[in-house]
């Protein structure tokens, strides 16, 4: 019995989340014609770190809630 057999679900979750994040980030960078980001995202395997950075930098993911606009 392998030592890490209990880690299989965690590994599957990490791989799937990386695949989804990378797909979204690649799609957004291709839409915006950002070739440098596209190549970096395609070549660097970072377990979702680089795609998350891309999505935050380009405003697709917000870390804070936007302030409500006051009505006049």
- C-alpha distances out from residue 4 to 16, 34, 50, Å: 19, 40, 27
pLDDT (0 to 100) of residue 71: 64
pLDDT (0 to 100) of residue 31: 93
1 pLDDT higher than 60: no
pLDDT (0 to 100) of residue 27: 93
pLDDT, tens digit (0-9, with 9 covering 90-100), for 8-48: 788 888 888 888 988 898 999 999 999 998 888 888 877 67
């Amino acid at each position: 019995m392998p030592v890490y057999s209990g880690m299989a679900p965690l590994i599957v979750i990490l791989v799937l989340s990386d695949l989804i994040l990378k797909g979204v980030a690649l799609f957004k960078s291709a839409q915006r014609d950002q070739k440098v980001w596209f190549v970096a995202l395609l070549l660097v395997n970072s377990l979702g770190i680089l795609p998350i950075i891309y999505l935050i930098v380009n405003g697709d993911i917000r870390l804070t809630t936007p302030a409500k606009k006051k009505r006049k």
